[in-house]
Structure 1
Amino acid sequence: MNVRQYLDSTYLKTAEQEGISETESVLIAKRFIQEAIDEHFKLIMIRPNRVALAKKMIAEAHSNLQIGTVIDFPEGKSSLDEKVLEANEAIKNGADDLDFVCNYEAFKSGEVDLVKQEILACTTLGLANHKVVKWIIEVAALTDTQIIQLSCLIKNLVISNFKEESFSSVFVKSSTGFFKTKNNLPNGATVSSITLMLENAFPLPVKAAGGVRTYDEAIEMIQLGVKRIGTSGAKAIANGESTQIDY
């Protein structure tokens, strides 16, 4: 199976997180973007401040590579106005996919109306601009019951407010890959969490992000039913190798 068109090659660490200079961070981002172009991946997933760079490199290469970026990453706690402002900037710079971090902590504390408001407003914004929208629910921060409830909430909002032809453009996504778990537990996609998402988000597609480190794991996720896989080890996975990445 050719997994390349399922892979969102991902570089989301900041210079500070890497312990490197901004100049070095730009060079790494360029390397990831060029690799994604050369390997014919589905998409390059980068920070908002790198979208314009990716757009320029892709245009120069006459590539069909798409650009994704993250909004309110990685905690999802910003206000709706801040989320919208960041999304609009990404749209202006040429992003194709907008991966919003859902305010999962608000959801857990019972502020469901707040979560509904941001999902509806940001999904409307993305679809109105012909973008793919993904909602990161951070499965490692949720119980199984909460994974089910939040997946259903997103699904029901989309079904109730948008046309059926839009459903394939609104994903439920597992993880940021940056959540700190206790006792070294998985902080990304697992078979059990992805299965719950697939069962409860349908007909919306699901993206598995975080923790997919081998070709076999990628194939397993695809066979489960995911439509996208986010990984910073995309080249190794596509070539049938293992990678020791932490996202």
Structure 2
Amino acid sequence: MKINQFLDATYLKTAEQAGISEQENLLKVVQLVEEAIVYSYKLIMIRSKYIATVKRLLVAAKSKVLIGTVIDFPNGNASIEKKLEEAQKAINLDADELDFVINYSAFKEGKIDLIKNEVTNCVSLCLTNNKIAKFIIEVAALSNEEIIVISQLIKQVVLDNFGEENAKYVFVKSSTGFYKTEDNVPNGATLEKIKLISKNAKPLKIKAAGGVRDYEMAMKMIALGIDRIGTSSSREIITKEQNLNLGY
């Protein structure tokens, strides 16, 4: 097994969030692209404003690394119309995969029909354009019971409307990595949360994101049946695998 094909190498900070200039932020994105090309990651996950630059670099390098971006990030509370508009712009820029932050606040308020419509419309747009759709459910904002229910809900909407043959094009993803928790409680993927998603969302695919920072945790996630890992620590993870293969 080569762990590089599980890795969605991620850099989603704005210049303001990083406390640097826009030019410096762009340089971080370019550096991540160069790293992704060297290590043949599955995908590079960046903000949509950088898609054109990333695409140009990947094409020039004849790289097979895919491009992913986030939609309605990080809060997920925009209207369905706004989500679809943002998604269409990313598709037009030639993003391969779209990670939608689902309206988890509306879900917690019991607005189930809104969630069903959101999933249906977003998946339809992605499938029509041969793109992968991922739904970030923000596990740190949900109870275990809510994680079970929303995972089952997304799965059922996809199966009922698009058939099991299209399940492989839709992911349930754990986290944005930007959710603010109290008392330093983990805000991303944990083994407990991923077990719940995996048990209730399959045959949809699963992406563990947020908090997977080393090879050991990555391997534990893979053992639970996840299909992708979203991480800003891709280089550390793949370097450890290479060292193990060399007997270090």
The two structures share one fold, judged by TM-score above 0.5: yes
String of CA shifts for 1:108-130, please: whole Å, max 9, x gaps.
Answer: 01111111111110110011100
Q: How does 1:39-118 map to 2 (within 5 A)?
A: 39-118=39-118
Q: How does 1:183-194 map to 2 (within 5 A)?
A: 183-194=183-194
SS at match of 2:8: strand
State the distance in 2 between where 1:164 and 1:115 align: 20
Do structure 1's residue 124 and structure 2's residue 148 form an aligned pair? no
State the distance in 2 between where 1:216 and 1:186 align: 17
Aligned residues between the structures: 241
Letter paired with 2:203 = P
SS at match of 1:172: strand
Letter paired with 1:101 = V
State the distance in 2 between where 1:170 and 1:21 align: 35
String of CA shifts for 1:203-232, please: whole Å, max 9, x gaps.
Answer: 111100000011010010001100000001
Q: Which residue number in structure 2 is paired with residue 224 of structure 1? A: 224
Letter paired with 1:105 = S
Q: CA deviation at 1:25?
A: 0.6
State the distance in 2 between where 1:159 and 1:52 align: 33
State the distance in 1 between where 2:74 and 2:52 align: 21
Q: CA deviation at 1:38?
A: 1.1
SS at match of 2:183: helix
Letter paired with 2:171 = F
Q: How does 1:1-247 map to 2 (within 5 A)?
A: 1-240=1-240
SS at match of 1:240: helix
Q: Which residue number in structure 1 is paired with residue 245 of structure 2? A: none
String of CA shifts for 1:91-115, please: whole Å, max 9, x gaps.
Answer: 0101000000000000001111111
Q: Following TM superposition, where does structure 1 have runs of at least 4 consecutive aligned residues deviating by more than 2 angstroms?
A: none
String of CA shifts for 1:126-157, please: whole Å, max 9, x gaps.
Answer: 11100010000000000000000000000000
String of CA shifts for 1:160-199, please: whole Å, max 9, x gaps.
Answer: 0003221111000000000001110000000000000000
SS at match of 1:20: coil
State the distance in 1 between where 2:117 and 2:157 align: 10
State the distance in 2 between where 1:160 and 1:37 align: 38
Q: CA deviation at 1:68?
A: 0.4
Letter paired with 1:48 = S
SS at match of 1:184: coil
State the distance in 1 between where 2:73 and 2:216 align: 28
Q: TM-score, normalised by structure 1?
A: 0.96
Letter paired with 1:232 = S
Q: Which runs of 5+ in 2 are unaligned?
A: 242-248
- Quote the sequence identity (%): 54
Contact kept? 2:164, 2:203, Cα under 8 Å: no
State the distance in 1 between where 2:227 and 2:216 align: 16
Q: Which runs of 5+ in 1 are unaligned?
A: 242-247
